[in-house]
Chains A and B, each alone.
Chain A
Amino acid sequence: SQTIHQWPATLVQPVGSPLSLECTVEGTSNPNLYWYRQAAGRGLQLLFYSVGIGQISSEVPQNLSASRPQDRQFILSSKKLLLSDSGFYLCAWRGTGDGYTFGSGTRLTVV
């Protein structure tokens, strides 16, 4: 069966520090992978998506970047965090079916 792993679950980082969030998928190959951000009480904002290794599409210009070094690994990064980067970050994958499967999310607080 397919599973998606996302870590860490919570993270508190100071302004100006770097960020690396990792997402891995098991039980599938060549999935579409996605990073979403959800601000408190808000909807889901698509940040990046990837249809294959090294292929990254950015949806919103911002302080973040994404990379896909392996087929089932998707990484969200920042060189210097801003207060506005706080939020709930969700990784998702889509295989051959229609639906997305989301990870359990990372709650990032920038202080």
Chain B
Amino acid sequence: QQQVKQSPQSLIVQKGGISIINCAYENTAFDYFPWYQQFPGKGPALLIAIRPDVSEKKEGRFTISFNKSAKQFSLHIMDSQPGDSATYFCALARGGYNKLIFGAGTRLAVHP
């Protein structure tokens, strides 16, 4: 059973534009929501994460928006750059967790 649905599957953005990737989940017991960035041939790396006690978290050009009532969270990349071209995964877990559940991934291409 898919516990997190990520969209879109792929995304093309022009340099300087805003990239938006969305994830929706079903189980309200989750309380940790990270985003990972993966470059080709490499392992994913933690980009930014949020807990449900806040609705937004910003780190540089990357922002997570969290809507607890709608059970949705999204990643916004402001001023997208070609170097941001990668695959992005949302994930979720419960407190004190032993495992993360990942979304299917979004392949982002930022064109110059």
Contact = CB atoms under 8 A, between A and B. Distances in A.
Nearest to B42: A104
Given A32-B98, A98-B32, A92 B105 contact: no
Interface residues of A, number: 23
A106 B104 CA distance: 19
Nearest to B9: A41
A99 B42 contact: no
Report the 8 A-B pairs with minimum CB-CB distance, sorted nearest first: A102-B43, A43-B104, A99-B46, A44-B102, A43-B105, A105-B43, A90-B43, A102-B44
Interface of B: 6, 32, 34, 36, 41-46, 49, 89, 98-105, 107
Interface of A: 6, 32, 34, 41-44, 46, 49, 51, 57, 59, 90, 92, 98-105, 107
